[in-house]
Every structure is written in C-alpha cells, then in structure tokens.
Copies of this chain bind each other. A is one copy, B any other.
Amino acid sequence: MNIYDVSRRAGVSIATVSRVLNGNPNVSEKTRTRVLAVMDELGYTPNVFARGLGLGTMKTIGIMCSDSSDPYLAGAIYHLERQLRSHGYDSLLCCTGPSLENKKTYFELLLSKRVDAVILAGSKFVELIGQNNDYLIEAAKELPIMLVNGYLDAPGIYSTVCNDYEAMYTAAARLIDSGRRNILYLYTSHSYSGLNKVEGYKNALTDRNIPVRREYIHQCSKDLNASRKLLEKLDRLGLVFDAVMTSDDSLAVGAVKYAAGKNIKIPDGLAVIGYNNSILSYCTTPEISSVDTKVEELCTTTVDTLMSVFNGGNVPAKTTIAAEFIQKQTTNFLC
C-alpha cells in the first residue's frame, strides 16, 4: 500500500496526494475530502519516514532520452543524474531511439517499475500533432512528468524550457542590423523547441521588412557533412547567401566546412551561427558563435521543480530559462 495506490484510486496525481498529506492549502476542498476518504478506505498511513520527499517510494527517477550520445543530451543526462543524486534519488536511464512506439514501450516499462517520476530529456518527446501525446497526459495523472526543453499543457506535466524564440530572434536581428540580407536557416526537427527557433528567425526578418523566403529555410540531418553538402547544392543552384543560422551546432560545423572548401572567408564572406554552444562549436577554426542554452541550469531547475512537486509546493507548469549568445569567430556584429 503506498501513495500510488491512493493516487490511482482517488483519481488524482501523487502530487495532489502529497499536497493533502502536507496540509498544503493549494488543493480544493472536494479533492481533499476524496483523497482522505480513499486513504481511510485503503487503510493507508504514511509512515514516519514518508514525510515530504520520497513518501514510501523507490527514490528512483526514470530519465528518458532518444540518444544519450548526442552531445546536448549527454550533457543533460550528466547534470540530471548529479542533481538527482544530490537529493538522494537514483536515475534509471532509458535510451529510446527516435520511434514513438519505442518511447511508449519504455514509458510503460518505467511505470511498471514504479519510478517516482519520469524526466523526458530533449524536446523530441512531445509530438506537435495528433493524439500522440495522450500516453503522456494519461500517465501524468499517476506520477509527475518533467519535460526538459519541451512543453505540453496538461495536469501533472511540468516544463523547463529555454527561450529559444528570443535567442533566435535576437541573433537574426543582429545579423540583419550588421548588414546581412540573405540569411539561410537550417534546422533539424519540428519539435517544440525547433518551431520556436524558426519563428524567432522569421519574425526578426519580418519586423525588419525582409521577406521570409521559402528557399532560405531548409531541414537537414545532424550528420556533420549533410549541411556542407546542402550548402554546396544551394550554391550550385545560384542561391546567394551571406549568413547561415542553424538550430544545432552540428549543422554549423558543416557550414564552416563548406566555407573552407570554397575558400570563403568567415565571417566577412559568410557569417555562421550555431546552437547549443556544444563542444563541437569549439572544434572548428574559426570557432563557431553559438547560443548557450544553459543545459546545466535547465536540468537543475527541472530537478528543483520536481522536488517542489514531491513536497506539495505551488509549482508553475512552465519555467523559462534565458539563453545567452556566445560570440566567437564566425560573426562580427556588436553584441
């Protein structure tokens, strides 16, 4: 008999049960009465060790990511594990790969292990169309679901996001204000984060009376040479561009390789902007100006938020972290 049984039977989240146990006023009278009735019915008594954190739990958090060897996600997992450990929680890691079917299977598995919460690392877990998020919305009735740089509006789901829109808008605006007019935008995915980024790019152009042209926006795989090949092709087709913005450093590395192959001088002949400020952006000559998406802060905040949920605190459904533009050698505007 534990808090999950109570939460399930009462049809409320464990966070709500936790709130009731902690006497938190942020629970409706109707809900409080129902939860207490279920506890009574099930004969549930929280033991003396089960106050606040870790109420009769396994003290284990499931961490799901699509690919932990991606540099951004590898950093996120490292920080999540360290932070959870500092609160006495184990991290059960699941690398799901990209398929939705696999994600669902792993999720079921984590639920069956009775983890205390699930953290989804990376914005690829929230599908933006159709009923594909229903399994998350359903599960969030049973345990807290934390999204690291993803957003889904449903009870029991808590998001910590980076302000990708702002970051991309500002970077594009600076490029334009320093005289660039033909800015390519390369992106990897249509995730929540991905859509915010491209919106930032588009709005910066529109606000400065530069037309948003479809032939300047391209999807590209993360393979380091894919963006190089794409730029070579666009160049052959006669497209003129003086800057490349990307949704991921790996695409920017390809742009630097493209420029090296064509003897184009960076940044004078071509400005390049990466994203995530990962180790990749430091490998090239010149080093790539990029956006620090504050992955450590994102993870620390995610875990802090989770601990507040466990404590029955009043927790915002969405916390936003400010990104920071790191100018290195592939741009030359004033910051």
**Are B280's CB and A283's CB within 8 A?**
yes
Q: Mark A52-79, 1 if CB is under 8 A from B, else 0.
A: 0000000010010001111100110110
| A90 interface residue (CB < 8 Å to B) | yes
Q: Which of B71, B91, B224, B279 contacts A93 (CB 8 A)?
A: B91
B93–A81 CB distance below 8 A:
yes
Instruction: Select from chain B the residue with minimum beta-carbon distance to A84.
Output: B93
Question: Does A253 belong to the interface (CB within 8 Å)?
Answer: yes
CA distance A250 to B113 in the complex (A): 39
Q: Does A315 contact B (CB under 8 A)?
A: no
The answer on a CB contact under 8 Å between A283 and B224 is yes
Q: Say whether A197 faces chain B, with CB atoms less than 8 Å apart.
A: no
Partner of A284, one of B90, B95, B225, B284: B284
By the criterion CB–CB under 8 Å, are A283 and B253 in contact?
A: yes
On whether A92 and B90 interact (CB within 8 A), knowing A77-B68, A283-B280, A285-B257, the answer reads: yes
Alpha-carbon distance between A75 and B261 when the two chains are bound, in angstroms: 30
Q: Which residues of B contact A77 (CB under 8 A)?
A: 68-69, 77, 93
Distance in angstroms from A3 CB to nearest chain B CB is 20
Contact A113 B90 (CB under 8 A): yes
Q: How large is the interface on A (under 10, 10 to 19, 20 to 34, 35 or more residues)?
A: 20 to 34
Nearest Cβ on chain B to A68's Cβ, whole angstroms? 5
Q: Is A172 an interface residue (CB 8 A)?
A: no
Please tell me if the beta carbons of B81 and A94 are within 8 angstroms of each other in the complex: yes
> A279 contacts which of B75, B95, B280 (Cβ < 8 Å)?
B280
Asked if A256 and B279 make an inter-chain contact with CB atoms under 8 angstroms apart, the answer reads no
Query: Which of B63, B74, B225, B282 is close to A69, meaning CB atoms less than 8 Å apart?
Result: B74
- Report how far A94 CA is from B78 CA in the complex, Å: 9
* Distance, CA A48 to CA B148, complexed state (A): 41
Task: Tell me which of A67, A90, A92, A253 has the highest count of chain B C-beta atoms within 10 A of its own C-beta.
Answer: A90
Residue contact B81 to A75, C-beta cutoff 8 Å: no
Residue of B whose beta carbon sits closest to that of A249? B283
**Nearest Cβ on chain B to A299's Cβ, whole angstroms:** 11
In the complex, whether A229 has a CB less than 8 A from a CB of chain B is no
Q: How far is the CB of A28 from chain B (nearest CB, A)?
A: 37
A-B CB proximity, top 7 nearest: A74-B74, A283-B283, A260-B285, A69-B78, A69-B75, A68-B78, A93-B93
Supplied contacts A63-B93, A81-B93, 13 more A-B pairs, CB within 8 Å:
A68-B77, A69-B71, A70-B74, A81-B94, A85-B95, A91-B93, A92-B92, A92-B93, A224-B283, A225-B282, A279-B280, A284-B285, A285-B285
